Amino acid sequence: MTVLYSWLIAPFADFDFMRRGLVGAVALALSGAPVGVFLMLRRMSLTGDAMAHAVLPGAAIGFMLYGLSLPAMTIGGLVAGCAVALLAGAVARATSLREDASLASFYLLSLALGVTIVSIRGSNIDLLHVLFGSVLALDDATLLLLGGVATVTLMTLSVLYRPLVMECVDPGFLRSVSRLGAPTHLAFLSLLVLNLVAGFHALGTLLAIGMMILPAATARFWIEDVTGMIVLSVVVALIAGWAGLVLSFHFGLPAGPSIILAAGALHVVSLVVGPAGGLLHGLLPRPHLEA
C-alpha cells in the first residue's frame, strides 16, 4: 500500500507543479475528449490535426511581439486558426482543389511559418515550448484559461448536442428539417480552434490534438452509443493525463509526450481487445445467423 501511494499519489500530494499539471490535464480531458468524439464521428480527425498546426503562426506572432504572453499567444492562435479554416473552405469552393488538400497546404505553410518566426525571435527552448508545451509549468492564468475553455465547451456542446449528433448521422436530413446545419458546423469549428489553442499552451502545437483524437478513438472500440462514447473518452483522457504525469515524474520523461503515449497505449489495448470492433472480437466466431 505504501509503495502504491508513493508511486501513484505522493507526486501530486508533495509537489505543486504536479498538482498544476494534473489540473491542466483534467481541464483538457473534460473539454478536448468530447470535441474529439465529434471530430471522429464527422470524419474530421485529420482536419483537426491540420487545424492544430494552423494556430502556430498566430501564436508565434504573439510571441514575437510580446514574448511568452498568454493573452497575445492565445489571441494570435485563435485568429490564425479561424483564418486558416475560412481560407481553406473558401479555396475549396472557389477552385478545383478539395478541402482536405487545401487544409494540408495551409497546415504545412502555417507550421513552417510559425517555426521560422519562433526561431528568429527566441531560443531552442522557446521553440520546444511552442511545439511540445509545458504542462508541468502551468501558471494561474493558464489554468484559468483551460478551465474557462472547458466550461465554454461543455456548455456549448450541451446546447448543440442534438444537431451535432444529427449532422454526424445524417447531415442531409438535418438540412431538410432545419437551418441549423451551417451554424452548428461553424460553432463546432470555433470550439475546435478554441480547444486547440488551449491545448497548445499545455501540450504544444504538435501534441494538442492527441488529447482529442486518441481518447475518442479508444472509446469507439468499447461503446457505440454517442453519449456513452463521450463519457468514456473523458475517462480515458483523465487516466492518460494522470498516468502520463506519473511516468514523467518517476522516469524523467517529458510530460506532454508521456501523456500522449499513455493515451496511445490505452488505444492499442482497446484496438486489440475492444468488444465494439476490436481485432480479437473480429476474429471470434459469430453466433449462427448473427448479422
C-alpha dihedral, 84 to 88 to 89 to 90, nearest 10°: 100
Distances (CA, A) of 144 to 24, 78, 141, 151: 9, 17, 5, 10
**How many CB atoms are closer than 10 A to CB 91?**
17
Q: Please name the residue that has the C-alpha cell 498566430.
A: 58
SS3 of 209, please? coil
Q: What domains are defined for the chain?
A: 2-274 (1.10.3470.10)
Q: Please report, in tens digits, the pLDDT of each residue of the chain (291 residues total).
A: 788 888 899 999 999 999 999 999 999 999 999 999 999 988 877 778 778 888 888 888 888 888 778 889 899 989 888 887 777 767 766 776 676 677 777 778 888 888 888 888 777 777 777 888 889 989 999 999 999 999 999 999 999 898 888 877 776 666 667 777 778 888 888 899 899 999 988 998 888 899 999 999 999 999 989 999 999 999 999 999 999 999 999 999 999 999 999 999 999 999 999 998 888 876 766 665 554
Collapsed DSSP state (helix, strand, coil) of residue 119: helix
In angstroms, what is the C-alpha Rg of the chain? 20
Instruction: Say what the pTM is.
Output: 0.89
Structure confidence by residue, pLDDT tens digits, 79-91: 888 887 777 767 7
Q: In b/e form, how buried is each residue of 109-146, taking b as 16+ CB within 10 angstroms?
A: ebbebbbebbeeebeeebbebbbbbbbbebeeebbebb
Q: What is the pLDDT of residues 252-277, one digit of tens each?
A: 999 999 999 999 999 999 999 999 88
